[in-house]
Chain A
């Protein structure tokens, strides 16, 4: 087990390096850098001035070198201007150059400066991620139990009335995009059109204080979409398990149907959907953009859109590091859980 974890950790780090390098390369393409120079130094500057601005601000070095600096394994660049003023990656504006550290990258906790929000990236990500984290957690808490219940109930007696009803429901929910169901919910439950006004149509206030009233609609909108998907997977897995010979063995041992489902079928039926459930985490992290925009809840997705739209390189890189980490960690959990559910798979 320890050996397996060690080996997995190694592959995870290698993967993370590859992925962040790709993102780094794409965000640091020459046109992007030119845009930065123009937005920082004035939009009417000549090509030569752009060149010299990039030179001065450390953008002119080879790509790999700058990736190393960003990562924090190479010393940050320094430049001495004509007037003798020393600037550098690690030298904060107005700080003493001599006291600045040599390395300042992601590894040292320095995630860079957001040009859009005028704040350190680490701080933005921390606040936004926690907002989205609450949303994800609530969605998972609603989506997973409901989806598994629907899937198991539908799958245990294939072709029954219950199965058809639940299957229709699952297909309908997963076929309805969030921007349709979200708008529908707002219209029905939160507008003066129906007069119900059970919930709030905006989740802005939930950023400070989460209540059932202001948070339920966005959670429901995301969860419904996922419920159909996971329930379909669970149903398929369950129907397959229910036709297995060991289910017949259990029934003919005299085990009651309820116990057969709970003790014999469930664990085997959860093997396939488990991977899908774990894949929902990365999906949620970025897939909530629409709902966050719709309900005006400024979380991680919303930040990502802002960063991408405004060529905010450091923030984009920060977001991608978080996304890569979430994908890799959930997949590790998924593999360990898979081996736990399925004794035929042994780690290491």
Chain B
């Protein structure tokens, strides 16, 4: 190995014209083509794109970990001046983990389940610096304290499954920092975590990178997150970098149609489902072996010019200082033109009360386990005194982090579980104690659900048409088979899928198309109430907009009540009429969208709003990071469920928060808050999100 003449003012990482292919028996599948990017010391570079665009492949190529089938077919990756593509396995091993470290998407899966945390951490300096075991453990203890985990000694002795998701990710970060690497690669490090936990992790990463002067390659599909963390970003589409530049440049002066389309399809503050609807990107992502000639984005681009854009390969071109774009028509497009306004839609008519919940409670009993039971039974209070009404044609969003009881509530409503006490009234029928198998067809077809993961909810061995017809049969729709087939085709029209899809198998459909089938099935029996459980969170950004719009359109036509369960406040703000915020089984705030998104807030809502990353440089946000994790529902804190993490607690005199569950307070306009804070304290709250004047 030759010592290179690299000096710290030169780029840490220089990727030039990198091409990566995967080789299968049938063909070579190019995953990344002609990719270049430069990361300077101390700089954070974001890699943004939808799933399948090749961003993770680039990251793994830097680590030279492409599996058996992947190979770098061209270009170079220079790390501190040395070409990684030419290194031997031994040289690579010395760089991995010591100079380049990686943080992964799923912390649970990336930690060895059968090794203690301390052993996994101490391993790094023991390999790379030949440190003695005791010394390595002492260093591990120090780094664990550095990533702000409580009780480091206990954590070092723990196994990964004994920690929460957020703690596990902190451990993965600690592992990456054990040898103070020069480059940190983060592959969607917070996608599997809750938003308030994500905010804590993002803060930590930023702080530590600054402290140790580490450069970062930050991979994410979330533009808001990239804006918070990175200095520069590269947007990728279908294996190519399409635009690269500083965050401010790309966000405010974007020069590629794909970047523009991406920004127009995400719900930013100011978007509104009626007056300023989202613009979905038409068409689908091309499969790697079906990429078009010329510009990959061509077939979906509004500015496509026949004979030019599809003539041949397009190179990156300079459009500003350290700002490049892969578009032939950069200088011809009017970038400041507002999006072609879609016809604004009339607001859906809000009708009578369809669904009413009164003091609904759902408790689970968890026995001590063992062959003969034994051990005291514990009660998990999944839902506490849930009361609300939902009207026809209304969208009620239910917001909260994992474990807040929103899915339990959906199960009780659907009849998969029965309520412990309280009432669910659908029109004038009590359904809280009727499990789904005892409900009549009318009730079952009237309350339907759209599930989170479209990949698991369709039967893989039945055609799409057959699955919808099956739902029609169960709901007792249609007089004959021909009749039902006709209804099925109409449903495909309704969800804007071509009728030819009736004979396709689920595996031939993309994620967004599958979700459309799921929606068609939910509406097969003319559902009056549809529970949408995170319906778009498994989908790519550009598809999310289309599926959300579809739901809104169907709702407008049928006057359906939509209960939209989500953790994504941006999309909730965009489409819902009213919002219900849940924490540990309690409804902590309920009001119209405007009421919930404006002060006074419940302290939890405030933190939640602050935690959601917003991809807009004009938005100023107050930073509120919650300490610790969500308490276990098995062992909730006494008094107010949020008191352990609340930053306003000191404003309530006499430790009231620790003793009593706050009563529901009714503020002006039907706005409800479950909090002990006085009216004066509530009025002092400032808005979390401010949009700066341009």
Give A residues with C-beta under 8 Å from B. 4, 7, 11, 159, 244-246, 248-256, 259, 263-264, 267-268, 271, 341-344, 348
Q: B104 and A344: CB pair below 8 A?
A: no
Contact B95 A254 (CB under 8 A): yes
Q: Which of B122-130, B207-215, B266-274, B430-438 contacts A (4 or more CB under 8 A)?
A: B122-130
Residues of B contacting A245 in the complex (Cβ-Cβ under 8 angstroms)? 104, 106, 109-110
In the complex, which residues of chain A have a beta carbon less than 8 angstroms from the beta carbon of B115? 263-264, 267
Besides A252-B102, A348-B370, 4 more A-B contacts (Cβ < 8 Å) are A244-B109, A249-B104, A263-B115, A344-B161
Question: Can you list 10 A-B pairs, Cβ within 8 angstroms, ordered by A?
Answer: A7-B374, A245-B109, A246-B111, A249-B104, A252-B102, A254-B128, A256-B127, A268-B113, A342-B113, A342-B114
User: When the two chains form their complex, are residues B110 and A341 in contact, meaning their CB atoms are under 8 A apart?
Assistant: no
Task: Say whether B371 faces chain A, with CB atoms less than 8 Å apart.
Answer: yes
Q: A341 vs B68: C-alpha distance in the bound complex, in angstroms?
A: 30
Nearest 3 CB-CB pairs, A to B?
A254-B97, A253-B97, A245-B109
B112: CB under 8 A from chain A?
yes
- Tell whether B427 is near chain A: CB-to-CB under 8 Å: no
Query: Are A256's CB and B113's CB within 8 A?
Result: no
Q: Could you tell me the distance between the alpha carbons of A249 and B106 in the complex, rounded to whole angstroms?
A: 11
Given contacts A252-B102, A253-B124, contact A341 B114 (CB under 8 A): yes
Contacts of B159 in A (CB 8 A): 343-344
Residues of B within 8 A of A264 (CB): 112, 115
1/0 per residue, CB under 8 A from A, across B57-79: the answer is 00000010100100000000000
**Cross-chain contact A249 with B110 (CB below 8 angstroms):** yes
A4 to B65, CA, bound (A): 45
Taking CB atoms, residues of chain B closer than 8 Å to A343 are: 113-114, 159, 161
B94, CB-defined interface residue at 8 Å: yes
Q: Pick from B113, B127, B172 the residue with the most CB of A within 10 Å.
A: B113
CB-based nearest B residue for A270: B114
B175 lies within 8 A of chain A by Cβ: yes
Interface set of B (CB-CB < 8 Å, partner A): 63, 65, 68, 93-98, 101-102, 104, 106, 109-115, 123-124, 127-128, 159, 161, 172, 175, 370-372, 374
Interface class of chain A by DSSP: helix
User: B180 CB to closest chain A CB, in angstroms?
Assistant: 14
How many angstroms from the CA of A11 to the CA of B371 in the assembled complex? 9
Quick one: which of A4, A7, A245 has the most chain B CB within 10 A? A245
Contact between A248 and B110 (Cβ–Cβ < 8 Å)?
Answer: yes
Q: Closest chain A residue to B113 by CB distance? A: A344
Q: Give A47 Cβ to nearest chain B Cβ, in Å.
A: 48
Which residue of chain A lies nearest to B89 when distances are taken between CB atoms in the complex? A257
Task: Tell me the minimal C-beta distance from B243 to chain A in angstroms.
Answer: 29
Kindly list chain A residues whose C-beta atoms are within 8 Å of the C-beta of B371. 7, 11
Q: B96 contacts A253, CB within 8 Å?
A: yes
B94 CB to nearest A CB, Å: 7
Contact between B65 and A249 (Cβ–Cβ < 8 Å)? no
Shortest distance in angstroms between B377's beta carbon and chain A's nearest beta carbon? 16
Contact indicator B127/A254 (Cβ below 8 Å): yes
Contact B112 A254 (CB under 8 A): no
Report the separation of the CA atoms of residues A347 and B190 in the bound assembly, to the nearest whole angstrom: 33
Name the A residues within 8 Å of B372 (CB-CB): 7
Q: Once the chains bind, are A256 and B110 in contact (CB under 8 Å)? A: no
Q: Which residue of B lies closest to A243 (CB)?
A: B67
A241 to chain B, nearest CB (A): 10
Evaluate contact between A268 and B111: CB separation under 8 angstroms: no
Chain A residue numbers with a CB within 8 Å of B102 are: 249, 252
Of the candidates B68, B96, B172, B370, the one whose C-beta lies within 8 Å of that of A254 is B96
Q: How far is the CB of A335 from chain B (nearest CB, A)?
A: 12
Q: Which residues of A contact B101 (CB under 8 A)?
A: 252-253
Neighbouring B residues of A348 by C-beta, 8 Å: 370
A245-B104, A343-B159 given as contacts; is B124 within 8 A of A254 (CB)? yes
In the complex, what's the smallest C-beta–C-beta distance from B371 to chain A, in angstroms? 6
Instruction: Evaluate whether A252 and B114 lie within 8 angstroms (CB atoms) in the complex, with A343-B159, A344-B159 already known.
Output: no
Chain A nearest CB, measured from B538 CB (Å): 19
Closest-CB distance, A13 to chain B (whole angstroms): 13
Q: Separation in Å of the A242 CB from the closest CB of chain B? A: 12
Q: Whole-angstrom distance between the alpha carbons of A342 and B160 in the complex?
A: 12
Give the docked Cα–Cα distance between A268 and B93 (Å): 23
Contacts of B104 in A (CB 8 A): 245, 248-249
- Measured CB to CB, the closest approach of chain A to B175, in angstroms, equals 7
Contacts of A248 in B (CB 8 A): 65, 104, 110
Are B111 and A249 in contact, with the CB atoms below 8 A? Answer: yes
CB-based contact A253/B175 at 8 Å = yes
Which residues from A are CB-within-8-Å of B113? Answer: 246, 268, 342-344
Nearest A-chain residue to B372, judged by Cβ: A7
B65, B95, B175: the one contacting A251 at CB < 8 Å is B65
Find chain B residues with CB under 8 A from A271 CB. Answer: 114
Q: Are A254 and B109 in contact (CB under 8 A)?
A: no
> In the complex, how many angstroms separate the beta carbon of B161 from the nearest chain A beta carbon?
5
Nearest-Cβ distance from residue A266 to partner chain B, whole angstroms: 9
Q: For residue A263, which residues in chain B have a CB less than 8 angstroms away from its CB?
A: 115, 123
Which of chain B's residues have a CB closer than 8 A to the CB of A249?
102, 104, 110-112, 172, 175
Tell me the bound Cα distance from A255 to B123 in angstroms: 8
Contact present for B93 and A254 (CB under 8 Å): yes
With A344-B159, A344-B161: A252-B65 Cβ-Cβ less than 8 Å? yes
Q: Please state if B175 and A246 are interface contacts (CB–CB under 8 Å).
A: no
Residue of A with least CB distance to B128: A254
Q: Which residue of A lies closest to B96 (CB)?
A: A254
User: Once the chains are docked, how many angstroms separate the CA of A343 from the CA of B116?
Assistant: 9
Give A259 to B97 CA distance when docked, in angstroms.
15
In the bound complex, do residue A253 and residue B123 qualify as a contact, i.e. CB atoms below 8 Å apart?
yes
| Interface contact A246-B110, CB-CB below 8 Å | yes
Q: In whole angstroms, what is the CA distance A250 to B159 when docked? A: 16
Residues in B neighbouring A255, C-beta threshold 8 A = 93, 97, 123, 127
The residue on A at minimum CB distance from B172 is: A249
- Decide: A246 and B128 in contact? CB cutoff 8 A: no
Report how far A133 CA is from B643 CA in the complex, Å: 64
Closest residue to A264 on the B side, CB-wise? B112
Min CB gap B618→A, angstroms: 38
Chain A residue nearest to B119 (CB atoms) is A263
How many Å from the CB of B67 to the closest CB on chain A? 10
Q: How far is the CA of A196 from the CA of B93 in the complex (A)?
A: 51
**Set of chain A residues within 8 Å of B106, measured between Cβ atoms:** 245
Q: Looking across the interface, which residue of chain B has its beta carbon closest to that of A268? A: B114
A259 to B371, CA, bound (A): 39
Q: Is the CB of B114 within 8 A of A251?
A: no
CA distance in complex: A96, B115 (Å)? 66
Please state if B114 and A254 are interface contacts (CB–CB under 8 Å).
Answer: no
Alpha-carbon distance A4/B369, docked complex (angstroms): 11
Complex CA–CA separation, A155 to B63 (angstroms): 24
CA distance in complex: A25, B436 (Å): 47
Please, which residues of chain B bring their CB within 8 A of the CB of A342?
113-114
A156 CB, min distance to chain B CBs, angstroms: 13
Tell me, in angstroms, the Cα distance from A249 to B175 when the chains sit together.
10
C-alpha gap A248/B98 in the complex (Å):
15
Do B98 and A254 have beta carbons less than 8 Å apart? yes
Residues of B within 8 A of A268 (CB): 112-114
Closest beta carbon of chain B to A271's beta carbon, Å:
8
Q: Please measure, in the bound complex, the distance between the C-alpha atom of A248 and the C-alpha atom of B175, giving whole angstroms.
A: 14
Nearest A-chain residue to B98, judged by Cβ: A254
Also in contact, A251 and B370, with CB within 8 A (given A246-B111, A264-B115, A344-B113): no
Query: Smallest Cβ distance from B145 to chain A, in angstroms?
Result: 21
- In Å, the complex CA distance between A254 and B115 comes to 17
For residue A10, give the distance in angstroms from its CB to the closest CB of chain B. Answer: 8
B110 in contact with A7 (CB, 8 Å): no
CB-CB < 8 A to A267: which residues of B?
114-115
- Smallest CB-CB separation from A245: which chain B residue? B109
Considering the chains assembled together, what is the distance between the CA atoms of A263 and B126 in angstroms? Answer: 14
A253 CB to nearest chain B CB (Å): 4
Select from chain B the residue with minimum beta-carbon distance to A11. Answer: B371
Q: How many Å lie between the Cα of A267 and that of B119 in the bound state?
A: 14
Interfacial chain A residues near B94, Cβ < 8 Å: 254
Which residue of chain A has the shortest Cβ distance to B179 in the bound complex? A254
In the bound complex, CA of A253 to CA of B385 (Å): 49
Name the residue on A nearest B65 (C-beta).
A252
